[in-house]
């Protein structure tokens, strides 16, 4: 099939390459000239495993091409995927202006009958708004609108797209469903579950998934506080809970909270959406509050251990919002760094991939290329992102480089017994601290 993809951010680019891998001919468009030019040369604008290889493969075979001209991408399209951003408004609600104007572009440049696919995460009812806008724009023309939310995670986005647990299609006509079954035929033939619903349900299900995953994390973070007060171990509690198939172990890792360009923004948008239709969903606010407290708590622990933050040198290891990505948008690690800076600590950050992005986001942050350099002369080390590299750090070397060996582990990367025998004063999350004798 001839498919156009509008927007080449994380979702748009991964979607383009997935569709090309499924055998379609894809024209991807974006208004960012530099990005399109780099993509045409096979250079991705962000870190994502497997993506560079796939990009080069499909460029070489001609199954994907990039253009800044939406009209050109849309001219022959049978299906047009909208993958543009839905940034948060000041009150947290999703701004769908770009989605709407993209739908109108499709109507302007594509043939009538083209199926418009809402891939961007949007509040329920957005497809209806698109249909009304299209109808207003050109009362005679007919465009099918369907919802097909994405469930891909940064860092495993290619695998998540080519081997999804389910594909969700919301449509209100048999033609809409038929077209999408054809788009995903190779996956459906491999017995990947295709869930077909009405459009409102599909739109809402996407928000529900992200809100529920956020809730699991916040529950774990609330439990961590309880475990610290009760002298229990949140890692073992999560293990027990996770052994119950009804609960599941995933997304129960306590830490400094969730971040990224999906969970915080989608949770707020969902909460605003619920309020706008007359239901004040209190749990959603609690989830967001607990998430803020998680970052705050790591800073408070450092403050107690150091008897005050002001003038102290603090190393922050990990700046991306999770391991495996260079993305720092809504990163809780940067939130920790920001709070430390506001308390007048000297903060030295390190990340295997995200140093440059972190520096752009938080210019006051001093970043270094080597984790041992970050801890040199530090009064405290706060682990903020669970990179595997950090698990393998030489603890004796860390201890000897630090001015005082105090480690606040915001991701529970280390084994408390190992830290105790390394002579480090160790403050994990939701587990008993292991305070070295000399440090008191
Ligand atoms: C998330 C969802 O997992 C995807 O299914 C969804 O498609 C995507 O958002 C989206 O809406 O586009 P992503 O933001 O890439 O994907 O990251 P996750 O792996 O879900 O992690 C989100 C955050 O939760 C990270 O900051 C991570 O460190 C944190 N987290 C995760 C925890 O603090 N504890 C956990 O147990 C799990």
Q: What is the DSSP letter of 79?
A: E
Q: Which residues of the chain have pLDDT under 70?
A: 437-440
Contact between residue 69 and residue 112 where contact means Cβ atoms under 8 Å apart = no
Does residue 322's CB lie within 6 angstroms of at least one atom of ligand 1? yes
Is residue 205 within 6 Å of ligand 1 at its C-beta?
no
Q: State the CB neighbour count (10 A cutoff) for residue 232.
A: 15
What is the predicted pLDDT for the residue at 440?
41
Can you tell me the distance from the alpha carbon of 86 to that of 82, in angstroms, rounded to the nearest whole number? 11
Distance, in Å, from the CA atom of 1 to the CA atom of 25, rounded to the nearest integer, reads 6
Annotated catalytic residue within 83, 227, 262, 297: 262
Q: What are phi and psi of 211, to 5 degrees?
A: -65, -40
pLDDT of the residue at 415: 93
At residue 439, the pLDDT reads 45
**Which residue has the least CA distance to atom 32 on ligand 1?**
258
CA–CA separation, 194 and 318 (whole Å): 37
Residue whose C-alpha is closest to residue 114's, from 145, 83, 138, 136: 145
The protein residue with its alpha carbon nearest to ligand 1, atom 29, reads 258
Give the model's pLDDT for residue 142. 84
Q: Whose CA is nearest to atom 10 of ligand 1?
A: 262
Burial status of residue 240 (CB atoms within 10 A of its CB: 0-12, 13-18, 19 or more):
exposed
The pLDDT score that the predictor gives to residue 438 is: 53
Residue 378 C-alpha to ligand 1 middle, in angstroms? Answer: 30
How far, in Å, from the CA of 258 to the mean position of ligand 1? 7
Atom from ligand 1 closest to the CA of residue 250? 36
Residue closest via CA to ligand 1's atom 3 equals: 153
- 89 CA to centre of ligand 1 in angstroms: 21
């Amino acid at each position: 099939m001839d498919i156009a993809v509008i927007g080449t951010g994380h979702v748009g680019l991964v979607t383009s390459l997935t569709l090309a891998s499924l055998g379609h001919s894809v024209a991807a468009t974006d208004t960012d000239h530099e990005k399109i030019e780099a993509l045409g040369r096979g250079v991705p604008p962000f870190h994502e495993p497997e993506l560079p290889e796939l990009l080069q493969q499909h460029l070489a075979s001609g199954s994907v091409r990039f253009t800044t001209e939406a009209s050109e991408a849309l001219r022959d399209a049978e299906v047009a995927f909208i993958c543009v951003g839905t940034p948060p408004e000041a009150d947290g609600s999703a701004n769908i202006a770009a989605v709407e104007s993209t739908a109108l572009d499709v109507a302007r440049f594509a043939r009538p009958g083209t199926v418009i696919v809402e891939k961007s995460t949007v509040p329920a009812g957005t497809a209806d708004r698109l249909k009304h806008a299209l109808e207003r724009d050109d009362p005679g023309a007919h465009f099918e609108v369907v919802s097909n939310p994405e469930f891909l995670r940064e860092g495993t986005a290619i695998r998540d797209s080519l081997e999804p647990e389910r594909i969700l299609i919301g449509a209100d006509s048999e033609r809409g469903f038929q077209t999408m079954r054809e788009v995903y035929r190779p996956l459906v033939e491999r017995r990947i579950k295709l869930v077909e619903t009405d459009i409102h349900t599909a739109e809402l299900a996407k928000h529900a998934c992200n809100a529920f995953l956020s809730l699991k994390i916040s529950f774990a973070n609330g439990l961590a506080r309880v475990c610290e007060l009760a002298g229990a171990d949140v890692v073992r509690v999560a293990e027990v809970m996770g052994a119950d198939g009804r609960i599941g172990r995933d997304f129960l890792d306590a830490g400094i909270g969730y971040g990224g360009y999906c969970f915080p923004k989608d949770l707020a948008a969902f909460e605003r959406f619920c309020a706008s239709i007359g239901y004040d969903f209190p749990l959603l606010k609690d989830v967001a509050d607990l998430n803020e407290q998680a970052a705050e708590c790591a800073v408070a622990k450092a403050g107690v251990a150091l008897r005050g933050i002001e003038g102290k040198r603090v190393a922050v290891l990990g700046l991306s919002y999770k391991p495996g990505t260079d993305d720092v948008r809504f990163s809780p690690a940067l939130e920790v760094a920001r709070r430390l800076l506001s308390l007048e600590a000297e903060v030295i950050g390190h990340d295997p991939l995200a140093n440059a992005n972190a520096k752009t986001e938080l210019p006051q942050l001093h970043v270094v290329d080597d984790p041992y350099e970050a801890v040199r002369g530090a009064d405290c080390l706060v682990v903020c992102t669970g990179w595997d590299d950090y698990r393998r750090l030489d603890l004796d070397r860390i201890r000897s480089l630090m001015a005082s060996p105090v480690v606040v582990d915001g991701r529970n990367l280390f084994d408390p017994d190992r830290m105790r025998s390394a002579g480090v004063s160790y403050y994990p999350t939701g587990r008993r601290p292991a305070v070295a004798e000399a440090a008191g």
